[in-house]
């Protein structure tokens, strides 16, 4: 009887201690892309070595929100640098300004005009504007902060004025979301 009681006690203790790690690992099943679609345009203009200007802060719509204004654009810039397929440059306008006004004022400018107006190192071939369409966060035991985030990304060919719009929704650890999107964008653009 004593052995059975001890076995039951240790079983219950083990289950209560291991519950967090088990739940944390089960959250991995929902990680990854929920959506990645090219809504309009093509990725033909996204060529290896192209200079891309990432413009921030991103605008917000739907259930999206900023963690810190300008961070999403900085994360995308960092991930483009890490990936190495495109040569990124970052421009973050007034963090308290209207991102839609900034987008409107830059959208029609050609590469040399963008370089002069924004004081850039190089004239960009592509310009990335973003809109955070949804975001929700939660804490998973042993994994940290996870988020489901949606972006509507517009890549404008600065010389031609044509654009490609991408809708992407991903769920992963907070810091991994932009990297997953950049890697998928590059994979599709390179034909991989």
pLDDT at 24 over 60: no
Helix pair 177-189, 71-83: axis angle to 10 deg:
50
| Res 174: pLDDT | 82
Task: Tell me the pLDDT of the chain averaged across its residues.
Answer: 89
Q: Percentage of the chain with pLDDT > 70?
A: 87
Out of 3-12, 97-106, 153-162, least confident range: 3-12
Give 109-151 pLDDT, tens digit per residue.
Answer: 999 999 999 999 999 999 999 999 999 998 877 778 899 999 9
Contact in structure between 145 and 139 (CB atoms under 8 Å): yes
CB atoms within 10 A of CB 8: 10
Q: What local confidence, expressed as pLDDT, does residue 95 receive? A: 80
Question: Do 173 and 182 touch, CB atoms closer than 8 A?
Answer: no
> Which three-class secondary structure state does DSSP give residue 142?
coil
pLDDT at position 85 = 97
CB 43 within 8 A of CB 185: yes
Residue 85 to residue 186: CA distance in whole angstroms: 7
Question: Within a 10 A sphere around the Cβ of 150, how many other Cβ atoms?
Answer: 22
Rounded CA-CA distance 133/39 in Å is: 14
Banded pLDDT at 10 (limits 50, 70, 90): low
pLDDT of residue 129: 98
- The pLDDT assigned to 144 comes to 83
pLDDT for the residue numbered 139:
85
pLDDT band at 58 (very low <50, low <70, confident <90, very high): very high
pLDDT at residue 9 greater than cutoff 70? no
Q: Comparing C-alpha atoms, which of 51, 191, 57, 63 is closest to residue 135?
A: 63
- The predicted-structure confidence for 60-114, as pLDDT tens digits, reads as follows 999 999 998 999 999 999 999 999 999 999 999 988 889 999 999 999 999 999 9
At 4 the pLDDT is: 78
C-alpha 104/C-alpha 51 separation (Å) is 20
36, burial (CB in 10 Å: exposed 0-12, middle 13-18, buried 19+): middle
**Side-chain half-sphere exposure of 184, counting CA atoms within 13 A:** 19
How many of the other CB atoms lie within 10 Å of CB of 68? 9
**Helix locations, the chain, DSSP H:** 2-26, 71-83, 99-107, 111-118, 177-189
Range in 28-32, 107-111, 154-158, 182-186 the model is least confident about: 28-32
Q: At what angle do helices 111-118 and 99-107 cross, to 10 degrees?
A: 130
């Amino acid at each position: 009887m004593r052995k059975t009681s001890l076995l039951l006690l240790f079983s219950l203790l083990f289950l209560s201690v291991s519950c967090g790690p088990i739940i944390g690992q089960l959250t991995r099943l929902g990680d990854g892309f929920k959506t990645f679609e090219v809504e309009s345009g093509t990725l033909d203009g996204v060529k290896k070595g192209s200079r891309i200007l990432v413009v921030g802060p991103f605008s917000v719509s739907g259930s999206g929100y900023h963690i810190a204004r300008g961070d999403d654009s900085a994360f995308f810039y960092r991930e483009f640098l890490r990936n190495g397929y495109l040569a990124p440059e970052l421009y973050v306008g007034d963090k308290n300004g209207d991102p839609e006004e900034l987008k409107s004022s830059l959208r029609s400018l050609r590469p040399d005009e963008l370089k002069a107006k924004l004081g850039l190192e190089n004239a960009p071939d592509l310009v990335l504007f973003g809109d955070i369409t949804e975001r929700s966060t939660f804490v998973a035991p042993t994994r940290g902060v996870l988020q489901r985030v949606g972006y509507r990304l517009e890549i404008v060919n600065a010389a031609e004025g044509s654009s490609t719009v991408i809708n992407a929704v991903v769920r992963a650890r907070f810091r991994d979301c932009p990297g997953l999107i950049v890697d998928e964008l590059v994979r599709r653009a390179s034909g991989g």
